[in-house]
Amino acid sequence: MGEFHHNIDEKGRLIIPSKIRYELGEKFIITRGLDKCLFVYPLNEWENIIKKYRELPNTKEARNFMRFFLSGASECEFDKQGRINIAIPLVTYASLKRECVIIGVNDRIEIWSKEMWDGFISENEENFSDMADHLFTSQV
């Protein structure tokens, strides 16, 4: 969990905070996420996702989602400065230009462009209370 701001350089390298590096482990998976951000998973969480995908029906929707999600996936590790090197197609997909926002979201890390993250917050902050009521109110 948490929110961190770091700059991506022209070579696609992004510093990941030490707290997050520890939680991710030495190797991890980065791929296209939802809402125009990148998802970063520790290897054990990635294996859980793959198991779930194997159970999906062989429908066009499932195949298309798996193509989208898995084709961008790659195994990564940190360099000596605690950076990751993000592939150009992923940089382009998430519109990463300079300032990035790295957030912890339960079983994964998300990497957002600052502009996309600010837009997401602006669009959703007024509905935050309603979302919480809807998600956490027990129905009798």
Distance from C-alpha of 20 to C-alpha of 94, rounded to nearest angstrom:
20
* Confidence band for 138, pLDDT divided at 50, 70 and 90: low
Mean pLDDT of 88-115: 95
Q: Per-residue pLDDT for 122 more than 90?
A: no
The 10s digit of each residue's pLDDT in 24-78 is 888 999 999 999 999 999 999 999 999 998 898 889 998 898 888 899 899 999 9
User: How many residues are listed for the chain in this entry?
Assistant: 140
Q: What is the pLDDT of residue 3?
A: 92
Do 73 and 66 touch, CB atoms closer than 8 A? no
The least confident of 1-5, 44-48, 112-116, 122-126 is 122-126
Tokens 């230009």 -> residue: 97
Mean pLDDT of the chain: 89
Query: All domains of the chain, ordered by start, with CATH?
Result: 2-136 (3.40.1550.20)
What is the average pLDDT across 93-121? 94
Res. 140: pLDDT tops 60? no
Q: Which pLDDT belongs to residue 102?
A: 96
pLDDT tier for residue 20 given thresholds of 50, 70 and 90: confident
Model's pTM, two decimal places? 0.87
Phi, psi dihedral angles at 39 (to 5 degrees): -105, 140
Distance CA 82, CA 21 (A): 8
Q: How is 12-29 classified by DSSP, letter by letter?
A: SEEE--HHHHHHH-SEEE
Other CB atoms within 10 Å distance of the CB of residue 47: 12
Sequence-ordered alpha helix ranges (H) in the chain? 18-24, 43-54, 60-71, 88-93, 114-124, 128-136
